[in-house]
Amino acid sequence: MADKNNFYEELDDFIFGRLEAAKEKKFREALEADSELAKAVSLRKDLHDGMKEGGRRTLKKELGGIYKELYEPQKEAKVKKMIPWRQLLLVASMVLFGLFAWWFWPQATQSLDPILAEHYQPFNLVLAQRGKPADKEINQAAQLYHSKNYKAAIPILENALKDSANEDLHAQLRLALAIARFENGDTEKAFQPLHQIIESNDLFLSDQARWYLSLFHLQLDQNESAIPYLEFLANKNGADKNAEAKGILKQLK
195-216: average pLDDT: 92
Instruction: Indicate if 81 and 19 belong to the same structural domain.
Output: yes
Integer Cα distance of 30 and 196 in angstroms: 43
Instruction: Indicate if 85 and 50 belong to the same structural domain.
Output: yes
Amino acid (1-letter code) at residue 196:
Q
Angle formed by the axes of helices 170-183 and 150-161, to 10°? 150
The tens digit of pLDDT for each residue in 124-149 reads 887 755 445 557 888 888 888 888 89
Instruction: Indicate if 169 and 230 belong to the same structural domain.
Output: yes
The tens digit of pLDDT for each residue in 65-77 reads 554 555 455 444 4
Instruction: Indicate if 225 and 132 belong to the same structural domain.
Output: yes
The tens digit of pLDDT for each residue in 207-245 reads 999 999 999 999 888 999 999 999 999 999 888 899 999
Q: What is the pLDDT of residue 194?
A: 95
Q: What is the pTM of this model?
A: 0.56
Q: What is the pLDDT of residue 134?
A: 55
Instruction: Indicate if 33 and 73 belong to the same structural domain.
Output: yes
Instruction: Indicate if 131 and 246 belong to the same structural domain.
Output: yes
For residue 238, what is the DSSP state?
T
Of 185 and 92, which is predicted with more confidence? 185
Instruction: Indicate if 123 and 86 belong to the same structural domain.
Output: no
Please give the mean pLDDT across all residues of the chain.
Answer: 75
140 contact partners, CB below 8 Å, separation of at least 6: 156
Integer Cα distance of 53 and 172 in angstroms: 33
| Domain end marker among 72, 104, 136 | 104
- In terms of Cβ atoms closer than 10 Å to its own Cβ (0-12, 13-18, 19+), residue 40 is buried
Query: Is the residue at 212 inside a domain?
Result: yes
Closest CA to 176 of 123, 106, 110: 123
Query: Is the residue at 109 inside a domain?
Result: no
Of 46 and 55, which is predicted with more confidence? 46
For residue 185, what is the DSSP state?
T
Asked if 145 and 153 count as a contact pair (C-beta separation under 8 A), the reply is yes
Instruction: Indicate if 13 and 75 belong to the same structural domain.
Output: yes
Query: Is the residue at 247 inside a domain?
Result: yes
Instruction: Indicate if 134 and 241 belong to the same structural domain.
Output: yes
Q: What is the DSSP string of 26-55?
A: HHHHHHHH-HHHHHHHHHHHHHHHIIIIIH
150 is in which domain, residue-wise?
114-252
Number of domains in the chain: 2
Burial 72-86 (b: 16+ CB within 10 A, else e): eeeeeeeeeeeeeee
Query: Is the residue at 148 inside a domain?
Result: yes
Chain centre distance of CA 2: 18
Instruction: Indicate if 163 and 223 belong to the same structural domain.
Output: yes
| Domain end marker among 104, 135, 154 | 104
Query: Is the residue at 16 inside a domain?
Result: yes
Integer Cα distance of 171 and 194 in angstroms: 9
Instruction: Indicate if 91 and 123 belong to the same structural domain.
Output: no
Instruction: Indicate if 17 and 46 belong to the same structural domain.
Output: yes
Q: 121: domain CATH number?
A: 1.25.40.10
Query: Is the residue at 66 inside a domain?
Result: yes
Closest CA to 136 of 98, 172, 94, 165: 165
Asked if 14 and 37 count as a contact pair (C-beta separation under 8 A), the reply is no
Integer Cα distance of 198 and 200 in angstroms: 5
Query: Is the residue at 196 inside a domain?
Result: yes
| CA angle centred on 248, ends 171 and 227, rounded to 5° | 65
| Domain end marker among 61, 86, 104 | 104
> For the CA atoms of the chain, what is the radius of gyration?
21
Amino acid (1-letter code) at residue 32:
E
Query: Is the residue at 218 inside a domain?
Result: yes
